[in-house]
Amino acid sequence: MQDEKILEQNKDLVRQFYEECWNKGKLDRLDQYIAKDCRFHDPVFPTLTSGIDNLKNHITMSRKAFPDLRFSIDDTIAERDEVVVHWTANGTQEGHFLGVAPTRRVASVSGTSIYRIKNQKVVEQFVDWNLLTLLEQLGAATAPKVQAVSR
């Protein structure tokens, strides 16, 4: 029963992190959720490696580009010391993002994040999301067209 309680606490921690830090931009609360030396893994942002200040800069940059950025949590799974979150992010691009000038277009992208938690703080985060989907919605890229193969 104690393990079940810890799993629920871990899920709540991650939910609060999204709501407070990403959705509301309350970056002064990051240290309530994230360990000072937390490691980050996101292939779209290889320079986002570790440290709470690095994450603070990343969230600031993202929210500057998408001031109305909002994450919704579609599903949450907790096991051992990990929480897996399937999320959807929505926002209007009002600033530069990954070299793309402001388009004022609304975009929606989904992804999966895995959080490893120790002593009620996130110590490591793995993120996987589809950059091409976002770039297509912003008009900055086009996915290759796949032709049907006839047999």
DSSP string covering 3-18: HHHHHHHHHHHHHHHI
Q: Which fold has domain 2-136?
A: Nuclear Transport Factor 2; Chain: A, (3.10.450)
Q: Which residues, at least 6 apart from 98, have a Cβ–Cβ distance to it below 8 Å?
A: 44, 131, 135
Contact between 48 and 55 (Cβ < 8 Å)? yes
DSSP state of 107: E
The Cα–Cα gap between 3 and 77 comes to 14
Q: Is the pLDDT of residue 68 over 90?
A: yes
pLDDT in tens, 11-45: 999 999 999 999 999 999 999 999 999 999 999 99
- Token look-up 């979150």 returns 85
Please state, rounded to an integer, the average pLDDT across all residues of the chain: 95
Q: Is the pLDDT of residue 2 over 70?
A: no
Residue range 61-84: average pLDDT?
Answer: 97
Provide the pLDDT confidence category of residue 126 given band limits of 50, 70 and 90. Answer: very high
pLDDT in tens, 74-97: 999 999 999 999 999 999 999 999
Q: Is the pLDDT of residue 1 over 60?
A: no
